[in-house]
Structure 1
Amino acid sequence: MISMIAHKCMQTLVHKSLSDTEKRYCQTEKEALALVWSVERFHFYLFGRYFELITDHRALEVIFAPKSKPCARIERWVLRLQSYKFKVIYRPGKNNIADPLSRLVTTERPQPCFDIGAEIYVNNIAASAAPVAIKLAEIEELSQTDEIICAVKKGLTDNDWEEKAIPLKPFETELCLAGNILLRGVRIVMPEKLRQRTLELAHEGHPGMSKMKQRLRGKVWWPKIDTEVEAYVKKCHGCMMVAAPPAPEPLKRTTLPSEPWQHLAIDYLGPLPSGDYLLVIVDYFSRYKEVEIMRKIDSVETIKRLRRIFALFGYPLSITADNGTQLVSVEFKAFCNETNIHLNSTTPYWSQQNGEVERQNRSLLKVLTISQNQRSDWKSDLQTYLHMYRATPHATTLKTPSELMLGRTIRDKLPNISQPMEQNEELRDRDKESKEKGKQYADEKRHAKPSEIKEGNEPSTQPSTLDEAIAQGPETEAVSEPRPKRNCTKPARYTD
């Protein structure tokens, strides 16, 4: 029972019984339903005016507030009231006149659904969507006005085949007339206006492509009927939902870049049980990867970490990333444009396109799972794995990632006889010449002289600088006898 009060005088009483569906709403949804229904019931009086909605359900004050986030059903109701200007006020049931009257409603007669307009619309759509059976009289009537069938009739009777009837001329010996209906053997040649409806009738029950063809072949026919059946089944939404997925497209492999750190793949792994995320960066050429442990994964923090890594290895030519919000944001695109990096965004929901970094994520997840089961420090285990990975030859390149990336294989705990690198004599000569010039300049400026100290000489305790002499303090003579102490129990009087 809803009461509308103006100047503290009751004006109108209206009521509404709940339907079977509305009876299953929770109490808060029922109270919200009462507000929405009453406002729309008095739309003629309330629209364009400020009014108050008095309720004995305190939660509605918060639900209908501007910044509330209710459930989906109540949120739709809130949107329906956006065109009104009102305020929800809580009043206890003992002071709310609508509360006792709401208990006197009878529920004998069923009430219509709350959203009656939507129900009527759905029913009309369902009724109009059902195909109606085709009668022979309707086929005969439309055959008389069908241009193709009329042209075929003329070709059969006068042997004058027009251009429209050419597709049916190869079946001339099979075609015949039964009144105004054209037959091919015992099958009816359907007029063009009835072909779509025929397909709808044949697809009732969603028989599939093969059974639908078999169902049609024994009764009706027209040129290219099999092609139209295939197209119709492929467009059926119900069949598409349960059909087997289509065959995948052939793979397109990524060509190997000419140098390391030209093309990179990045992705986020997480969240981990600790709440952290891993930013994984993989080089397509060397398979060298960098992993950053992050707590925040917004675009600002991502750019900050990438700047630090790019300061070590330089800017790449391109980056391949998925459609994460931080990787397609305006800030990240501006960063790529600033550094002249081409950003390749993968196809949504198709992680295989970024398969290089996705495969590395699987290996990282394996290491983190082992660390979690063994209850060890996962950050330390992660660094151990990265050290191992960079020093291990890759299965494809047969070279270690560090060798292809840095020009050398990093040293690990395993014993190894290192092979000397190719000597660059020109580089060695330039280094020696630069060091000799620097030594000569420093020796002349400091007036350096060769030291006279040789192996076996006693070390000297004489301070070499003024600062050392001050630090050592004044020299003291050795005292052979202890100095007598003065008796201070009776100090002498001090006089000027």
Structure 2
Amino acid sequence: MNITLNKKKCEFNQNKLEFFGYIFGEDGMSADPKKVETIKNTPPPKNVLEQDLNAGECDYYHTTLTSYIKSGDSDMSDFLSRHPDTEKRKQTSVAEEYVNFLAYHDVPVAMNMNEIIQATSQDVDLQMAIKYVKSGNWNNPSKNKIIDTLSRCKNELSVVNLQNGEILLHESRIVIPRQLQDKVISLAHEGHQEIVKTKQLLREKVYFPGMDQLVEAKCKCCIPCLAATNKKTQEPLQMSEMPKYAFQVVSLDFCGPFPDGKYLLVLMDEYSRFPFVEVLNSITGNTVIPVLDKIFSEAGIPEVLKSDNGSPMNSHQFKDFAKHMGFKHKKITPLWPQATAEFREFD
């Protein structure tokens, strides 16, 4: 047999089972005590219709299930639906009161529920969503961006019936109609909090598709926020002109000190990116200048040597060395990695 069962609705290893007003167990079939108790507590009939319903329900437990449904006006199957359990009605009432409390509690300050109800009734997208929530049938949601977004969280949506109309809830938050969204964001941003704080305040009580993007746009256009926020901006990089040949322009930097107290002198050709590396015991002019003189004697004297303004390049000794060798010493901004990116990559 090709049978498909819903695991969530199946019960296994049970001694008895409640179904359709009966208890099925090891001893056979018997009336559900809760249903019988409801019948006992039913007030006496006041008219012929109530008497017929009362009699029909009592007769139900004396006949088989197949003979229960009757046609025409003699159908007595609606007794318990017309005489529901008062305890269940109380539970339903408490649930409705709780949902209504959530709805009224989520109304933003400086707004009222009637305003939201009226705007919801005029919002075509929300009215369509309310219709889909009630029917459970979301037809072609991809054709409408708002409906498509709401359909992705359809299991968290519910419709709340209030005295003056209906609103839509996303879990415990009110779905704000389009015409009130800007007002709600302005209320949340009234103290000129930054973007993250404004989003947090909104997410506590309200929801609407595209909320994060609208908050970001609102905050980025807020002049008081822009004036009070420290904004780190960087100037566009001024790219150096590529040298025309090898060793025309070189860059100098140091690495260290290392645990043994030594340093590395790194001289890099900006045309070929070829590095010259020498080990130094110190970075004074007396140790640096002889090393540079050695490198220049092997590779040639550059036209431009770039370095920061640190020791020993800011000394008169180095200035005289540059003049004697005939290269231009170009000083770059110290402690600015962008100016010596080649060395950072090499290190």
For this structure pair, what is the TM-score category when the shorter chain's length is used for normalisation? 0.3 to 0.5
TM-score (normalizing by structure 1):
0.27
Q: Which structure has the larger Rg?
A: 1
TM-score (normalizing by structure 2):
0.38
